[in-house]
Structure 1
Amino acid sequence: MATFGEKIRELRKKAGLTLDLLAEMTGSSKSYIWEIENKNPPRPSAEKIDRIAKALGVTADYLMDAEADLATAEDEAFFRKYRGLDPDVKDQIRRITETFRK
């Protein structure tokens, strides 16, 4: 089981993000992101957790739940983004996925 900070560090590295870049993407400082990754327990606000989750392509629930499944969290984050897309883009995505099914 990965801790909150370990999950953030692993996802950040998997995405090829530096501390600086993740900090910039979430409106944080580099030192703040480092503290979240390394202090136990971290005490970020719900808003900050949400920003970090979005930047890393997962859900806030995944970051907070030691038992949560990464694949499920990535799918939920994808579908959240999908729901906000333009209808024409959604149609393109549906057509692309249909070609994979054939």
Structure 2
Amino acid sequence: MPSKLGIKINELRRQKGLTLEQLAQATDSSKSYMWEIENKEVARPSAEKLERIAAVLGVTAGFLIDASQTQPSQTDKDAAFFRKFEKADEEVKEKLKRILDVLEDEG
């Protein structure tokens, strides 16, 4: 029986429309390693690997390892978005800032 971590990763991967191979490639892992994380009873990826998986799935590593949380909170989603924003190049960041300014002015 898969671990709760494995179940979460599997569900989020499917929601994102990713294959096991696509998730493996995006996290610099092998397909068999990702299969083991999703399907083995005991899954213990490294902290670095967990962060990579969380980033691809748009959540936090904290959400993935918290067995009591079944859905990402708004805080988890915000943290994942901000992490993505931080990695964007300056041109993309400036565009997003202008979009936010326009939305703020409309509100």
TM category (shorter chain) comes to 0.7 to 0.9
In the alignment, structure 1 residue 13 sits paired with structure 2 residue 5: no
Consecutive unaligned residues of structure 2, counting only runs of 5 or more, are: none
Closer, same or farther: CA 95–11 of 1 in aligned 2, 3 Å: same
Partner AA of 2:8 in structure 1: K
In the alignment, structure 1 residue 78 sits paired with structure 2 residue 81: yes
**Which residue in 1 is equivalent to 2:95?**
92
Closer, same or farther: CA 30–88 of 1 in aligned 2, 3 Å: closer
Deviation at 1:29, TM superposition (A): 1.4
Poorly superposed stretches of 4+, deviation over 6 Å: none
The total of aligned residue pairs comes to 101
RMSD over aligned Cα atoms:
2.0
Alignment of 1:10-89 (within 5 A): 10-68=11-69, 69-70=71-72, 71-89=74-92
Closer, same or farther: CA 86–21 of 1 in aligned 2, 3 Å: closer
- TM-score normalized with structure 2 length: 0.79
- TM-score normalized with structure 1 length: 0.83
- Once residues 5 and 46 of structure 1 are traced to their aligned partners in structure 2, the CA distance between those partners, rounded to angstroms, is 15
CA deviations over 1:16-64 (Å, ceiling 9, x no partner): 1101111111121111111111112211111211111111121111111
Partner AA of 1:10 in structure 2: E
Report the 3-state secondary structure (helix = DSSP H, G, I; strand = E; otherwise coil) of the residue aligned with 2:29: coil
- Once residues 19 and 84 of structure 1 are traced to their aligned partners in structure 2, the CA distance between those partners, rounded to angstroms, is 24
